[in-house]
Amino acid sequence: MKRTEVKEILLNTPVGSEVNVKGWVRTRRGSKNVGFITLNDGSTINNLQIVVEADNPDFDKLENIYSGTAISVDGEVVESIGSKQRVELKAKRVDILGNVDPDKYPLQPKKHSLEFLREIAHLRFRTNTFNAVFRIRHGLAYAIHKFFNDRGFYYIHTPIITGSDAEGAGAMFQVTTLDLNNVPKTDDGKVDYSKDFFAKKTNLTVSGQLEAELAALALGKVYTFGPTFRAENSNTTRHLAEFWMIEPEMAFYDINDDMDLAEEMLKYLVKYVLNNFPDELEFLRKRLADEEKNKKKEERSQDLIEKLNSVIDVEFARITYSEAFDILRNSKPNKKGKFEFPVKEWGIDLQSEHEKYLVEKHFKRSVIITDYPKAIKAFYMKQNDDDKTVKAMDVLFPGIGEIIGGSQREEDYDKLYARVKDLGMDESELWWYLETRKYGSVPHSGFGLGFERLVQFVTGMGNIRDVIPFPRTPKNAEF
RNA sequence: UCCCCAGUAGCUCAGUUGGUUAGAGCGACUGACUGUUAAUCAGUAGGCCCCUGGUUCGAGUCCAGGCUGGGGAGCCA
């Protein structure tokens, strides 16, 4: 018999149909006269209840069926006597496909800590929580491609291995095939990279932005969506050594067009998940509420689904760095000395506590901050006429902080070149980037969206290590 | 990288001013039970108390160093 997925049975299969299902047992329970199996096959977060009656010739197989066992069942779809499900499967034939040693199988039909599940990342897919998280992660990835495709953007594959470390977004992982126990040296004692695979020093990319700009200056609107790597020793709930980033880059867009696109995209993506993953969101909403039961009221975060709806309903606040600076300088916590980093001098970088105050206390919604001091931003950002600020924009989300960082890019060759020189950067590594400003240069803009931070926000998961299947963090590359 | 907290059964945790044989709940196992919903009831098994060293008559408990995990900060997406 052809296999039917659980999702199909729960939604569409008429009562009385004969079907075959295959999947993994969540729980099994029963008595002398009847056995119950809760089965999940990954097609939906919901389970199918299978009933095996005592007169079934396969009834004694039940004693070898435990949590985690893979089984195949032929049976009839019937209306459920129990109240928790519309239909169930009355088994005619039960086959065990893959056994489980119940003494050793670490997943139990009970709540596990996320920390424990992280240590068994090869099995945590089998829990409802990760089932929901990774289904939504997929949905977001798909929606991102759909969003851009529908608006005439082209998906550009930028290199993972890069020969330039000019972007300056963070420490890099080196890529080499040299024998580390016997590194070839030049006469003056330095590493002889001419003997390395690429005959030069290479690293894993920290950003595809510079290459995306090259493509945007011909294809108009492009985006990247790929893995990026940062060798920073960051140990937080918001950082990974390997993460996925979305970087659109648009010719003829100024900073305002850039902000409009960022806001439209974020709202589109949140709406997409609300429309397409209601069961998963409901599960995660309950999970979060349950987890926060023990917290004090004022420390609890907003209801997950309410939070998502508030993002799509409300316009993001848009302010300049200078306005944000004034708000913070005159704020109560600043005057009372409650900030760990007091706000005194214009030009300071905004700290987590400042961003949190603006988003969660002052505006009570998402905020976009523009026109940052040029000293604290990257070399490629478009310089304003005041000679002090650049056309940068950061989108700040409640609970997450910076979810998007972007800017209008400096298209003027002389200004860009001067900035490269000022910062002591190696222009020979950037010749190709600079050259685009010589040939038909136009205003253009773009931004970077951290994919895992988006998934974190939408699923309500507190730790970024729980929204990527196999997290890479300092001292941890298991699996 | 810095600050704080934690590491005891498969999981979540308790373990008194250092004192003899190490505790619970859940899970697993065995049995009972006429339809259960993380079933219920009874019983059984299960410990390198993170590692190394030190103090002490005696260390799960105190001290030092390390390892691992978590939270916060910085860096950022």
Residue A65, Cβ neighbours under 10 Å: how many? Answer: 21
CA of A260 to C1' of B15 (A): 59
Residue A31, CA distances (Å) to A81, A109, A110 in order:
16, 18, 21
DSSP A347-404: TPPPPHHHHHIIIIIIISS-EEEEEEEGGGS-TTBPBPTTSSEEEEEEEEETTTEEEE
Q: Which residues of chain A have pLDDT under 50?
A: none
Distant-in-sequence, close-in-space partners of A278: CB < 8 Å, separation ≥ 6 = none
pLDDT at A81: 83
State the Cα–Cα distance between residues A400 and A124, nearest whole angstrom: 24
Architecture of the structural domain at A126-171+206-316+365-466: 2-Layer Sandwich (3.30)
User: Residue ranges of the alpha helices (H) in A82-197?
Assistant: 114-119, 128-150
Q: Which nucleotide is nearest to A395 (CA to C1')?
A: B77
Q: How far is the CA of A475 from the C1' of B46 (A)?
A: 32
Cα dihedral value A330, A332, A335, A338, nearest 10: -130
Nearest to A136 by CA among A456, A429, A465, A464: A456
Q: Are strands A389-397 and A202-204 parallel, antiparallel or unpaired?
A: unpaired
CB A295 within 7 Å, strand B: no
Residues 112-141 of A with CB under 7 A from strand B: 112-113, 115-116, 118
The position carrying tokens 């902080």 is A401
CATH number of A6-107: 2.40.50.140
Distance A99 CA to B49 C1' (A): 33
Please give the Cα distance from A453 to A459 (Å, whole number). 10
SS3 A116: helix
**Which residue, among A358, A413, A355, has the nearest Cα to A380 in the 3D structure?**
A413
Query: Could you give the angle at which helices A451-459 and A128-150 cross, rounded to 10 degrees?
Result: 120
User: What is the per-residue pLDDT for A296?
Assistant: 65
Q: Are A319 and A367 in contact (CB under 8 A)?
A: yes
* CA dist A344 → A329, A383, A392 (Å): 7, 24, 22
Taking alpha carbons only, the member of A354, A387, A362, A361 closest to residue A373 is A387
- What the block records as the tokens of A256 is 């305002």
- Give me the pLDDT at residue A168, please: 63
Task: Given the cut 0.85, state whether the ipTM is greater than it.
Answer: yes
CA pair distance A62, A27, nearest whole angstrom: 11
A351 touches strand B (CB under 7 A): yes
The domains of chain A are located at 6-107, 126-171+206-316+365-466
For chain A, state the CA radius of gyration.
Answer: 27
Structure tokens at A43: 């097609």
How do beta strands A444-450 and A242-251 pair?
Answer: antiparallel
Length of chain A: 479
The strand B neighbours among A residues 19-48, by Cβ under 7 Å, are 27, 29-34, 36, 38
Closest CA relative to residue A130, chosen from A402, A471, A398, A397: A471
The type of residue at A152 is: G
Q: How far apart are the first and last CA of chain A?
A: 36
A83 touches strand B (CB under 7 A): yes
Distance of CA A6 to CAs A19, A27, A127, Å? 10, 16, 16
Angle at CA of residue A453, ends A448 and A456, nearest 5°:
155
What pLDDT shows up at residue A337?
Answer: 87
Rounded distance between C-alpha atoms, residue A6 and residue A3, angstroms:
9
How far, in Å, is the CA of A103 from the C1' of nucleotide B24? 21
Residue by residue, DSSP assigns A12-62 as TPPTT-EEEEEEEEEEEEE-SSEEEEEEE-SSSSS-EEEEEETTSTTGGGG
pTM over 0.90: yes
The confidence score (pLDDT) of residue A165 equals 64
